[in-house]
């Protein structure tokens, strides 16, 4: 009979057939793909027998899921590791692992600066976490797992392992494509997540079917350039629009979102699908990045302002109430004042419902990092100006919604607005409204009564 060693307040070591007695904490930075990876990490750790702790202080296993898209989240991860150093000094049997994009590209530096780290695991090796945690408990020997699957020819044979058995929830992220083949000159993602790989359609449908059976009503399909989906599949090319139609057929599923589409790959069949398939939500987050063709060319974005405008025009013709949001970078190397004015003009022209706006952050081993940089003060001022312009537009667009009705999927009590329920409209506006908590998980129709920067206050009709 195997023996389980249980010491209070510490991890117990056991044979493989047994569970680990202890708790875990996961700290996540970055995009929805990282959030989703963290959920997979949590499932792996729970499967080992660990339960979730409220703070890193209380946890025996701590995993950092890091982001490298800009310098700021990297700094945050290093400062978090600084705090963990003290915890680990007090409790040497703690296990500390670093996952995600920064783990992929800065593994050796992470370990050199933080010798107490037990393992580093890259973006394509999340499923290795169970073994890494068990090994760390048993041997205390540092390990790293950083392999990124390469494509063989054009076909992907290596599909990541995923745990599909998970607790039911109202909304879920489903990755459909990993990595990126676009190589924008500012972007680190091809280094951190590797070449573009699509998941076979059957896997995606299986996962969504399982989710829907457990009560999931809304899925968000994830990919770096999500609408480029389906190019390198053994089963042959599957256009993204076709995948959307297949996912829409899953019984019980009510809403489908996707993020983020790449403008050049936004084809007519996708616009028709958004218009015609009731499950596909009327929202599109389509990163523009800059409003000047010279800038776009230097960013290696494979479209022009006019080709982007054409897509927006077709989208709004087909689906007049579509919610449109975007990402913008200011202070890209060599950005002139007139180029920046072009970006401001584009914001006025496209009237986005919302935008994520960033100051350019040079990333190691990307082409743009080698170019002459814009003065930081100038870039900061431009970012402030851009935010001011877009804030005004968002406020106006929200104000124009007052009196309109929205279908909302009720998520539950609003954490920020006590006594109110909250949920998103099909065009991805946040709505707060009074109602019975029993409505959680239901779709209700509300009417907007007042507008704010974050969204709308409404009443149930
Ligand atoms: N600096 C600033 N912003 C960046 N983004 C990507 N790379 C950088 C960078 N080096 C932004 C883009 C992208 C979003 C996820 O992050 O706008 O769409």
User: Are 9 and 141 found together in one domain?
Assistant: yes
How high is the pLDDT of residue 232? 81
User: Are 77 and 22 found together in one domain?
Assistant: yes
Is residue 67 exposed (0-12), middle (13-18) or buried (19+ Cβ within 10 Å)? Answer: buried
How high is the pLDDT of residue 65? 98
Cα–Cα distance between 214 and 210 in angstroms, integer? 7
Q: Can you give the C-alpha Rg of the chain in angstroms?
A: 23
User: Are 133 and 240 found together in one domain?
Assistant: no
Q: What is the pLDDT of residues 125-137, one digit of tens each?
A: 999 999 999 999 9
CATH number, domain containing residue 310: 3.30.750.200
User: Are 160 and 276 found together in one domain?
Assistant: yes
How high is the pLDDT of residue 6? 31
User: Are 141 and 17 found together in one domain?
Assistant: yes
User: Are 445 and 390 found together in one domain?
Assistant: no
Model confidence band, residue 159 (pLDDT cutoffs 50, 70, 90) = low
Say how many Å lie between the CA of residue 440 and the centre of ligand 1.
35
CATH number, domain containing residue 260: 3.30.750.210
Q: Is 327 in the pocket of ligand 1 (CB under 6 A)?
A: yes
Structure token pair of residue 375: 């003065």
Nearest ligand 1 atom to the CA of 186 is 10
pTM: 0.95
Q: Is 266 in the pocket of ligand 1 (CB under 6 A)?
A: no
Check residue 449 and give left, alpha or beta (phi > 0: left; psi -120 to 50: alpha): alpha
User: Are 197 and 328 found together in one domain?
Assistant: no
CATH number, domain containing residue 441: 2.40.50
Residue owning the nearest CA to atom 17 of ligand 1? 327
How high is the pLDDT of residue 235? 87
Q: Is the pLDDT of residue 154 over 80?
A: no
Range of the domain at 197: 153-281
Q: What is the pLDDT of residues 168-197, one digit of tens each?
A: 999 999 999 999 999 999 999 999 999 999
Q: What is the pLDDT of residues 338-356, one digit of tens each?
A: 999 999 999 999 999 999 9
Q: How far apart are the first and last CA of the chain?
A: 63
User: Are 22 and 114 found together in one domain?
Assistant: yes
* Last residue in a domain, options 223, 255, 281: 281
User: Are 9 and 133 found together in one domain?
Assistant: yes
Q: Is the pLDDT of residue 118 over 70?
A: yes
Residue owning the nearest CA to atom 2 of ligand 1? 360
Measured from the Cβ of residue 457, the count of other Cβ atoms closer than 10 Å reads 18
Q: Would you give the DSSP letter of residue 301?
A: -
Among 16-20, 131-135, 311-315, 448-452, the least confident range? 16-20
Q: Is 290 in the pocket of ligand 1 (CB under 6 A)?
A: no
Number of structural domains (the chain) is: 4
Q: What is the pLDDT of residues 207-257, one digit of tens each?
A: 999 999 999 999 999 999 999 999 888 889 999 999 999 999 999 999 999
3-state secondary structure (DSSP) of residue 361: coil
CATH number, domain containing residue 15: 3.40.50.12160
User: Are 23 and 88 found together in one domain?
Assistant: yes
How high is the pLDDT of residue 4? 32
Q: Is the pLDDT of residue 11 over 70?
A: no
Top mutation candidate among 29, 70, 335 for ligand 1, by most atoms within 8 Å of CB: 70
Say how many Å lie between the CA of residue 349 and the centre of ligand 1.
22
Considering the chain, what is the average pLDDT of its residues?
94
3-state secondary structure (DSSP) of residue 108: helix
**CB-based contact 171:220 (threshold 8 Å):** yes
Structure token pair of residue 182: 């676009």
Structure token pair of residue 156: 């992907």
Q: Is 308 in the pocket of ligand 1 (CB under 6 A)?
A: no
3-state secondary structure (DSSP) of residue 168: coil
Q: Is 33 in the pocket of ligand 1 (CB under 6 A)?
A: no
How high is the pLDDT of residue 140? 86
User: Are 361 and 263 found together in one domain?
Assistant: no
How high is the pLDDT of residue 2? 32
Cα–Cα distance between 324 and 343 in angstroms, integer? 16
Say how many Å lie between the CA of residue 184 and the centre of ligand 1.
10
Say how many Å lie between the CA of residue 17 and the centre of ligand 1.
44
β-strand 218-222 against 255-259: which pairing, if any?
parallel
* Last residue in a domain, options 265, 281, 297: 281
Model confidence band, residue 157 (pLDDT cutoffs 50, 70, 90) = low
User: Are 42 and 108 found together in one domain?
Assistant: yes
Cα–Cα distance between 194 and 178 in angstroms, integer? 8
* Last residue in a domain, options 400, 418, 444: 400
């Amino acid at each position: 009979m195997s023996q389980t060693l249980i010491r209070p307040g510490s991890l117990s070591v056991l044979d493989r057939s047994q569970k680990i007695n202890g708790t875990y904490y996961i700290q996540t930075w970055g995009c929805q793909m990282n959030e989703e990876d963290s959920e997979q990490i949590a499932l792996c750790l729970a499967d080992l027998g660990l339960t979730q702790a409220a703070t890193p202080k209380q946890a025996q296993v701590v995993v950092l899921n890091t982001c490298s898209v800009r310098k700021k989240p990297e700094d945050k991860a290093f400062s978090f590791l600084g705090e963990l150093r003290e915890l680990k000094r007090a409790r040497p049997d703690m296990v500390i692992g670093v996952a995600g994009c920064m783990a992929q590209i800065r593994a050796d530096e992470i370990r050199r600066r933080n010798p107490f780290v037990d393992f580093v695991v890259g973006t394509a090796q999340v499923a290795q976490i169970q073994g890494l945690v068990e090994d760390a408990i048993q041997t205390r020997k540092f390990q790293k797992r950083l392999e990124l699957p390469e494509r063989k020819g054009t076909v992907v044979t290596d599909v990541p392992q995923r745990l599909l058995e998970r607790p039911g929830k109202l909304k879920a992220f489903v990755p459909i494509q990993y990595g990126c083949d676009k190589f924008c000159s500012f972007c680190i993602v091809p280094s951190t997540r590797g070449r573009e790989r699509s998941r076979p359609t059957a896997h995606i449908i299986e996962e969504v079917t399982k989710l829907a059976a457990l009560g999931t009503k809304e899925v968000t399909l994830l990919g770096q350039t999500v609408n480029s989906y389906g190019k390198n599949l053994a089963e042959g090319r599957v256009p993204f629009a076709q995948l959307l139609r297949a996912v829409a057929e899953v019984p019980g599923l009510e809403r489908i979102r996707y993020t983020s589409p790449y403008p050049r790959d936004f084809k007519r069949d996708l616009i028709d699908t958004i218009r015609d398939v009731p499950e596909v939500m009327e929202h599109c987050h389509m990163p523009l990045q800059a409003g000047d063709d010279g800038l776009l060319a230097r960013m290696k974005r494979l479209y022009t302002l006019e080709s982007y405008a054409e897509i927006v025009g077709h989208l709004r013709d087909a689906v007049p109430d579509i919610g449109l949001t975007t990402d913008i970078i200011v202070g890209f190397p060599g950005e002139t004042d007139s180029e920046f004015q072009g970006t401001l003009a584009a914001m006025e022209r496209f009237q986005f419902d919302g935008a994520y706006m960033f100051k350019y952050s040079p990333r190691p081993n990307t082409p743009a990092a080698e170019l002459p940089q814009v003065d930081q003060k100038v870039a900061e001022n431009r970012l402030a100006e851009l935010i001011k312009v877009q804030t005004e537009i968002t406020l106006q667009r929200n104000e124009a919604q007052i009196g309109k009705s929205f279908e909302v999927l009720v998520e539950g009590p609003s954490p920020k607005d006590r006594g109110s329920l909250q949920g998103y409209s099909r065009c991805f506006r946040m709505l707060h409204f009074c109602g019975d908590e029993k409505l959680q998980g239901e779709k209700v129709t509300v009417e907007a009564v007042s507008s704010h920067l974050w969204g709308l206050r409404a009443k149930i009709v």
